[in-house]
Structure 1
C-alpha cells in the first residue's frame, strides 16, 4: 500500500466555526505546489475531512491531477479524528494508493502511528506538507516514510 498524507493549505484565521475556515490565496498556491508531486501517480481514491479547507484542498488536487472519481468525505479525518477508525479503514483497503487530506494534529499522529506504532513522535506537517508512506499493510508500526515535502 502507498499512502499519501496531505495537510490542507493555509486557511483563514477566523470564520464562524473552525470547520468553515477557507483556504487563503497563499494556501491555494501551497496546495498546487504539493499537488504537482502527485502528477502521474496511480491514485485509487482521494479521501478528505469534511472541513471546508480540506475539501477545497482535495478539490484543487483532484482538478490538478484530472482525477475522475469523486472525493470521498470521511468524518475521521478531522483535526481530532479517531486514529483507531482510520487504521481500521486503511487496513481494509489492501494494496491501493490513497491520498488522505486532513489536519493537524491528526495527520502528524497518524503518520507516527503508522511509522512507529505510537503517536508520541508526530511527524511535523506544515500547511500543505505531503508525506509518502509505503508498506505491505497499513498497520501500526508497519509502514515507512519514503518522502516528506513541505511547501
Structure 2
C-alpha cells in the first residue's frame, strides 16, 4: 500500500474556532502546487481520509482537482489536531483494509501528522510538516518505509 499523509494548506487564524479556520490565498496556491507534485506519485486513488476541519476539507477540494477520482472518501474525526496518533494509525489501516485500498491519501494537521509517521514507520522520529507538505510511506504487510517527504517551495 502507498500511503500519503498530507498536512492542510496555510490557514487564517481569523475564525470563530480552530475547526472553522479557512485556507488563505497562499494556502490554496501552495496546496495546488503540492497537488501537482502529488499527482506524479498517484495513478489511482482508492481511499481518501480527511479531517472534518474546514481547512482540511478545503485542502481536499484543491487536491482533488489534480488527482484521479477517489474510489472512496471518508471524513474522519480521528485525524483532527488533538487526535490520538496510535488510534488514528489503527483506524487508517483498518479503513485501508476494509476498502482493499492500495493507494491512500490522508489530509490532516500538525501535530498528529508527524506522530502518525512515527506510528506507521518504526524508528522514525515525528517530522515537522510545513503546511501543504506530504510524505509517502510504502507499507507492505507489517513493514513500512518512508519513501520521501515533499515541501512546498517558499514563495
TM-score, with structure 2 as normaliser: 0.85
Counterpart among 127, 133, 140 of residue 129 in structure 1: 133
Tell me, in whole angstroms, the C-alpha distance in 1 between the residues paired with 2:71 and 2:59.
15
Q: What is the aligned partner in structure 1 of residue 107 from structure 2?
A: 101
Measured at CA, do residues 105 and 14 of structure 1 come closer, stay the same or move farther in structure 2, by a change above 3 Å? same
For residues 32-87 of structure 1, give each alpha carbon's deviation from its aligned partner in whole angstroms, at most 9, with x where no partner exists: 11111232521101110000000000111112225254631000110011223222
Alpha-carbon distance between aligned partners in 1 of 2:114 and 2:45, rounded to the nearest angstrom: 21
Quick check: 1:58–1:71 contact (8 Å CA) kept in 2? no
Task: Name the SS for the 1:23 alignment partner.
Answer: coil
Of the candidates 76, 79, 86, which is equivalent to residue 78 of structure 2? 76
In angstroms, what is the RMSD of aligned CA positions?
1.8
Distance 2:123 2:75 in 1: 26
Question: Which of 88, 91, 94 is the aligned partner of 2:90?
Answer: 88
Report the Cα distance in structure 1 between the residues aligned to 2:12 and 2:23, rounded to whole angstroms.
Answer: 6
**Match status 1:112 vs 2:118:** yes
Residue 129 of structure 1: how far off its partner (Å): 0.4
Gaps of 5+ in 1: none
Output the CA distance in 2 between the equivalents of 1:87 and 1:6.
14
* Cα distance in 1 between the residues matched to 2:85 and 2:111: 11
With the length of structure 1 as denominator, give the TM-score of the two structures.
0.87
